[in-house]
Amino acid sequence: MKKTILLVHTGGTISMHVSKESGAVVPDSTNPLMQESKKLEKIAHIIELEAFNLPSPHMTPQKMLALRDLILQTIGNNNNIDGVVITHGTDTLEETAYFLELTTNLEIPIVLTGAMRSSNELGADGVYNLVESVRVASSEDAKNKGVLVVMNDELHSSVNVTKTSTSSVATFQSPQYGPLGLVTKSMIHFHQAPLKREYVEVSKLDKKVALFKVYAGMDADLIRSAIDYQYDGVVLEGLGQGNIPPAVLPTIEELLKLQIPVVLVSRCFNGIAQGVYGYEGGGKMLEDMGVIFATGLNGQKARLKLLIGLNQVNKPIDVKKFFI
């Protein structure tokens, strides 16, 4: 029997075209994907909604939360939905995917997809990726695998996937871990599955979390602005195994004294940050001061995770345990 898939559009290049007048890639007044339902209906029964028609740099955590609520509400009203597909701009797709990973706990698949070439460009990849995503969302094997990203014949976990190329259709990669599987002409083939899934209950996002990239010769002024602007948490994309320049240390100490959690990830896209070095600004020193090391996440995802954690309904999180 045909599966029922909820298809939610949010915008991005997949919903754009190249303007003949300016040559720029621009949003359409009507989403070109809305005309593709015939191709999709061959695979599954489609319930189609347009949540937004935004370039993904315009996405915000508040909009991600609204998207989450729309999905849960629609599933609540139609108990026959077997899977969800979301079309999204690729620039922040990994963030929305990870947001949904942490804030939904559904058994059915949630798949995000996008395109690197807009609808009227040579080699446009949008409809292809959309068809593959509907196939994945209809697959029994995709259940309980967490939120997935499907592009260019690959299946990725929202936890590990990141945009790696400004323009290649193979932009989405999972550094260190690789894809969860492949999409072929005849198969949805998983070769790994996530060991753990996390769920955090959130209903609003009042807190503010900043993300800073650490660099050689960094001064404390920028990080200090997190205190001045009353941020509730700070994530640092630190150096190597998890180190920072000494000039930043006193401000980190100040943040911690003010009970503002400081989470550290590595700028390196492989490996896990940890407290190894004992020199001034070294990871061991930071760990002893109370800086929390996030296990293997990139900066933008650690930032979202801290934001979601600090907004958990009812109980405050233990930041250290939350990031293991």
70: tokens are 């729309």
Q: Which of 87, 90, 173, 311 binds ligand ASP (CB under 6 A)?
A: 90
Give the nearest distance from C-beta 242 to ligand ASP in angstroms: 30
Q: Which of 83, 114, 261, 282 binds ligand ASP (CB under 6 A)?
A: 114
Query: Does residue 133 touch ligand ASP according to CB under 6 A?
Result: no
**Nearer of residues 117 and 145 to ligand ASP, judged by Cβ:** 117
Residues between 295 and 314 with contacts to ligand ASP, criterion CB under 6 A:
none
Q: Which stretch binds ligand ASP (CB under 6 A): 85-93, 138-146, 174-182, 305-313?
A: 85-93
DSSP character string of 186-232: S-EEE----S-------S-----EEEEE--TT--SHHHHHHHHTT-S
Give 156's DSSP letter: E
Active-site residue, from 4, 10, 13, 184: 13
Q: Which stretch binds ligand ASP (CB under 6 A): 83-91, 102-110, 154-162, 196-204?
A: 83-91
Query: Does residue 126 touch ligand ASP according to CB under 6 A?
Result: no
> Tokens 């020193």 map to which residue?
285
> Tokens 């754009």 map to which residue?
16
Q: Which amino acid is at 268?
A: C
Residue 99 Cα to chain centre, angstroms: 6
164 is catalytic: no
Closest by alpha carbon to 83, among 103, 107, 105? 107
**Nearer of residues 121 and 254 to ligand ASP, judged by Cβ:** 121
Closest by alpha carbon to 294, among 235, 232, 216, 233? 235
Residues between 3 and 62 with contacts to ligand ASP, criterion CB under 6 A:
12-13, 55-56
Beta strands 188-190 and 162-163: pairing type?
Answer: unpaired
Q: Which residues bind ligand ASP (CB under 6 A)?
A: 12-13, 55-56, 89-91, 114, 116
**Catalytic residue numbers, as ranges:** 13
